[in-house]
Amino acid sequence: MADVAENDLFAGIGECLDELECEYLKVRVEHCKGLEDHSQLSSFLMLGIRSVCLLRGMLRLADPQVRRSFIESWQLQFEFKLRDSATKAQKWLEGQQEWQADRRKLEGLIAKLQGGPAGFAREFGELSEVAHPPLQAPINSVSIASTIAGVNPHPHRLQEEFDKLAHDYVGMVNREIWLTLQVCDEFIETSLKEERFSKCLTLHKNFLEGQNPPEQRNPAVG
C-alpha cells in the first residue's frame, strides 16, 4: 500500500473507532438492558467495546502485548457471534474459564465466507514469539534504544518494522469493522445496522482496495 493511502486510512481511524463504540453502546442500552441481561449479544458487545479500547491504545503505543490482547478479544468476540456459541458465551458471562476462542471453528467459517484460510495460527504464533520470548523482546528494545541514541548501524530497519506495524494496525481496525457488519446464517442478529457505519465502510473499502494482490484479500484478517 502506498504511503499516501496508508496516511489517509490513519486519518479516518479515530472516527471509525468512535462510530463502532457509539453503536455498540447504543445497542447495549436498547437491546441488552445495559449489558445486564446476560445474553449472547451482551457478550459479543462487551468484547467489541474492549476491542475498540485496545485499538485506541494501540494507536498511541506499538505494544505486542496489546496486539495479542486485541487478537484474543477479537477472536472470542467472533466466536460469540456464532449462533452455536450461546452456551460458551453464557459460561463466560458467569465467570467460568471458557475464555479461549476455538480458532479452528473460526478458520472454517472464514474459509466458507471468503474462500481462503484466515491464518490465525500463524499470526498468533508470531505474536507469542514477540510477547513471550527468551530473546526477541530484548533485541527489539535494544534496537529502539540504540536508534534513539543515534548508535544503531541500521536505523532504517526499525523504520521498516514500524511501517509494517502501521499497516498491521489498520488491518486490525478493518477486521473489527468486518466482524461488526458481516451477516451470515451462522451469526446471531446484533441490531448493528450497516447504514450507521459510513466512516467504517469507507475505511473498509479503501483498505481492501489497497491490498495487493487482489486475489489474496481477506477482509476478515486484513
Cβ contact 41:86 at 8 Å: no
Q: Is the pLDDT of residue 212 over 80?
A: no
CA distance 59 to 61: 6
- Residue 114: per-residue pLDDT: 80
Q: How confident is the model at residue 17 (pLDDT cuts 50, 70, 90)?
A: very high
CA distance 173 to 201: 12
Q: Is the pLDDT of residue 1 over 80?
A: no
Cell of 6: 496508508
Cell of 167: 499497516
- Residue 135: per-residue pLDDT: 45
Q: What is the pLDDT of residues 105-142, one digit of tens each?
A: 988 898 888 877 776 666 655 555 444 444 454 555 55
Alpha carbon of 45 to those of 12, 20, 38, 176, 206: distances in Å?
22, 10, 11, 12, 25
DSSP-assigned letter for residue 132: S
- Residue 132: per-residue pLDDT: 45
- Residue 193: per-residue pLDDT: 94
Q: What is the pLDDT of residues 64-76, one digit of tens each?
A: 667 778 888 898 9
